[in-house]
Amino acid sequence: MSILNKKSGRKIALKIFGRESKKQRAACTAAALALALVFSVLLTAWPVSALNQDESEQAPMSEGFKPSTTMSAVLVKERLHDVELFDRRSDTELEIPGITHLMILYIATQRLPADTMITISKEIALQSREEKNFNNIAFQEGDRLSLRFLLFHMLFNHSDAAALAIVSNMSSSRQAFLVEMQETAQLLGMSETTFYEIEMTGSDSDNDPFDIVDPSNIQSGESNSKQSLGKNLPSKKTENEDQATSEARDKDVKTVLTTLKDTAKLAFAVRNLPRAASIFKETNPLITFKSGDQEHIASFRSPESSLITLSDGKIEAAAFLPSVSAYSLSINYGKTAGGIPILVIAANTTSSKEDRAILNLYEEIDDFYTMTTLARKGDPYAGATEKADNGEYFNLVYLENAAYVHPKSDNYLEPTLDYIGNAPFPLPVTRDETTGQVTFTMLNGVRIQVPVGPDRDILPKESTLNRFISQIQQNPNLASVIFATGVLLSIMLAIYVLRQLAAIFHWSRLNRLEKIAESAHDLISANNEN
């Protein structure tokens, strides 16, 4: 009996041990599967994260472009798609007094009619007599001067008196106009711009001039840019900046605090206003004005007239707004010798012009960049076909020209194109109608969109006439044959008609002569009888 108990105990122990072994094997298998799953997920996610990191670290298009200019801050943009070609401290906040006059030009040409006449007050007349300018212009109280005259005097002679005269016609006080300038800046997207004063001379003082910055020592980091600004141009506000530091900074800035990127937005806005752009392009205007009881002729001269002349027509318009103790501003736009349309904005710490540096920059842009055509109007787009409402398919052609600027060593363009359409299209579908959009994408994310449309007209009904017209559109040779045949038949018909007309004229003439002869014969017969 004891022996049987021992055997049964062993069997039970073996069964329990077997069950525990199976559980352990199952647990091990589950752990192994879980580990393999985690490992595979890591392997799958790793290249994606690496790819995202590579995309986020895409080098700017201007990498490797190192022009020789020593100007303190420079921003060059191509005007096709607003892409930066060169950037030096364009994000750094600088005190640039000339922005106020540029903003006054933008607001005045928007709000005031071209024939506006502005009356000069006593205070503005006194201020004008204290200014020194190339034309020796001094206002008198009660003078009525044209808006065009005052704009030229403000931009070319940098007259604060002219600026205040224009402002007095648009606003009740300086403070109210400062608020309006700030609101306009926000509407233009100039989020880093703050206006403190209308007059450009508000920043001029006895402070030491700034030193010219060596471009070899300029780094892209904002901390290095801030250190080179000097004591009168404080750095941008940060989140941890205390109130005392912020107030001290605002006291140092006397006119306007802005960046070159914000300045570019204002320059583009001015260029898009026809009246403002026309004033921007003038170099030597002659304007008649009346001061007191006498008529005068003012011959204005643009500070950048020599730059436009030396550029041999490459620079279309330019402005130079100097400052004694803050940053002087130079704005110009035109095309390089290679046809690249660009906008150049430069801020420098001297009040002297940099004509040669700007011209060299145009040449260096041409040496590094080129402009390539992406699409020509009328050329076929082979990437897709579309369908009309009646089920007829048609090919697509580009409806506009498109080009882009890129480094000569890199096409800087994604290899694939994106197409967006919305078929089927209701009839009729005309040749100039936009039925889709092709998008070219640059490596920096800029999307160049080109509309496309049908290569022929799609008519609403499939009648014999419509089919005939469709065949004509699709077969130019058939159209030529039909046209030539029609011309030949027309000529033959014309000859036949002319011959018949000549025969009719000849017959009518003979018939008339016959009648005359009969009348004469009857008359003679009657005489003989008598």
> What CA–CA distance (Å, rounded) separates 339 from 215?
27
pLDDT tens, position by position, 277-321: 999 899 999 999 988 888 889 899 999 999 999 999 899 999 999
pLDDT tens, position by position, 71-86: 999 999 999 999 999 9
pLDDT tens, position by position, 142-199: 999 999 999 999 999 999 999 999 999 999 899 999 999 999 999 999 999 999 999 8
Task: Say yes or no: do domains 73-365 and 376-474 share a fold.
Answer: no
Amino acid at 241: E
Listed range (218-222, 284-288, 344-348, 495-499) with the worst mean pLDDT: 218-222
pLDDT class for 109, splitting at 50, 70, 90?
A: very high
Q: What is the pTM of this model?
A: 0.69
Listed range (24-38, 315-329, 337-351, 381-395) with the worst mean pLDDT: 24-38
Q: Which value, to the nearest 10 degrees, does the dihedral of the CA atoms of residues 363, 365, 368, 372 take?
A: -110
pLDDT class for 22, splitting at 50, 70, 90?
A: low
CATH architecture of 73-365: 3-Layer(aba) Sandwich (3.40)
pLDDT of residue 233: 39
DSSP line for 91-150: TS-EE-THHHHHHHHHHHHHHS-TT-EEEPPHHHHHHHHH---TT-----TT-EEEHHHH
pLDDT tens, position by position, 420-476: 998 888 888 888 889 999 999 999 999 999 999 999 888 776 556 666 777 777 787
Amino acid at 176: A
Q: How far is CA 401 from the centre of its chain?
A: 15
Structural domain spans, the chain = 1-57, 73-365, 376-474, 478-530
Fold of 376-474: Peptidoglycan synthesis regulatory factor (PBP3), Domain 2 (2.60.410)
Q: Flag whether pLDDT at 206 surpasses 90.
A: no
pLDDT class for 19, splitting at 50, 70, 90?
A: low
pLDDT of residue 43: 46
Find out whether 340 and 365 touch, Cβ atoms under 8 Å. yes
Listed range (52-56, 59-63, 363-367, 485-489) with the worst mean pLDDT: 52-56
